Amino acid sequence: MSRRETNGVGLFDGEQAHFNNVRLHLCSTRTIANMDLAAKAALLDETLQSCGSLMVAYSGGTDSAFLAFAAHRVLGNRMLAVIADSPSLPRKELGQALDFCETMQIPLQTLQTSELSDTKYRQNDANRCFYCKDELFKRMELLREHLGFDAIAFGMNTDDRGDHRPGQTAAQNHHILAPLVLAQLSKLDIRQLAQNAGLLIHDKPASACLSSRLAYGLPVTAERLSQVEQAEDLLHAMGFRQVRVRHHDTLARIEIAREDLPRAFDLSLLDNISNSLKALGFTFVALDAQGYRSGSMNSLLPASAITSASHA
């Protein structure tokens, strides 16, 4: 079955016409940009129903978890959540992701991925996320064909489109659907719908793979990923909910949510943080005064590198 592209998202030919009809039906009295949340939720349901059967690339984050929940509610056993397990996924995140699917009775399959065996991934340039997602979607496509599912989707939302995310290029190359984008759902919309559905993941802190904590150009190794994971676990245990430990080789640069920074500046707590992270192998430990920022490593990339990555 051939596919075509719309808004950067791969669609089957028949699905394109159906999605257009759904939009016309739900948006006859308002523009898509001005749809209220109920209309967006209805559009998501119609979009998912049109897929026939669907595999969802599931990470355990709020976006992909809500997408898996919505797909299961609409499609029942005609959907399957698929999570990739590798050293770049924190063990705590994996456990929470598995627990969510078990609690919600969402069908789930785990794929063991091996991005660390890819030299292009390990070199950690601006394309790193592309190589990871490219392998994942290749593996999922093989699984989709084997199990007979009609399509694959991932949890991209409308807010994700303006950031440097090479994984979106991989998704487009593999014609992966983005139902949350098609339903015009923002990150805030998704959190609100998840809360309305009584899902505990509605306020789950944003997460990303451990490799995203490593400075570009610093080779990705299992040892460095473990350092970051252990460091963030220690900070979580100290009561900091939203943290990133950015790995700059011998330096650990800690980002903490701004509302928690006053407590972090306590000298005795700073000593505890410094000693704990140095015990993991870091020579220097720094607390970033700007606090947590999603994708802060991207600010270090030259514009040419971002342009190259977007066309990987």
Q: Where in the chain is the domain with CATH 3.30.70?
A: 210-293
Q: Are 230 and 244 in contact (CB under 8 A)?
A: no
- The phi and psi torsions of 19 (rounded to 5 degrees) equal -60, -40
Helix axes 62-75, 37-50, angle to 10 degrees: 60
Higher pLDDT, 25 or 173: 173
Instruction: Indicate the burial class of 25 (C-beta count within 10 angstroms; 0-12, 13-18, 19 or more).
Output: exposed
Q: 32 pLDDT band (50/70/90 cuts)?
A: low
Query: Three-state DSSP class for 260?
Result: helix
Q: Kindly state the helix (H) or strand (E) to which residue 289 belongs, with its residue range.
A: none
Q: What is the pLDDT at residue 4?
A: 36
Phi, psi of 81 (to 5 degrees): -85, 140
- The reported pLDDT for the residue numbered 297 is 72
Average pLDDT value for the chain? 88
Tokens of residue 62, six digits: 């709020």
CATH class held by domain 3-203: alpha beta
Average pLDDT over residues 85-99: 96
Please, which residues bridge with residue 253 across strands?
246, 286
Q: What are phi and psi of 48, to 5 degrees?
A: -65, -40
**Average pLDDT value for residue range 304-308:** 47
- Give me the percent of the chain exceeding a pLDDT of 90: 79
Average pLDDT over residues 72-92: 96
pLDDT at 166: 86
Q: For 128-166, how does the pLDDT look when each residue is reduced to its tens digit (9 = 90+)?
A: 999 999 999 999 999 999 999 999 999 999 998 866 678
Question: Quick one: CA dihedral 298, 300, 303, 309, positive or negative?
Answer: negative
Name which residue leads in pLDDT, 260 or 301.
260
127: confidence class by pLDDT, cuts 50, 70, 90: very high
Residue range(s) in the chain whose domain bears CATH number 3.40.50.620: 3-203
| CB neighbour list of residue 207: distance below 8 Å, 6 or more residues apart | 59, 60, 61, 90, 93
Does CATH number 3.30.70 belong to domain 210-293? yes
* Torsion sign across C-alpha atoms 113, 114, 116, 121: negative
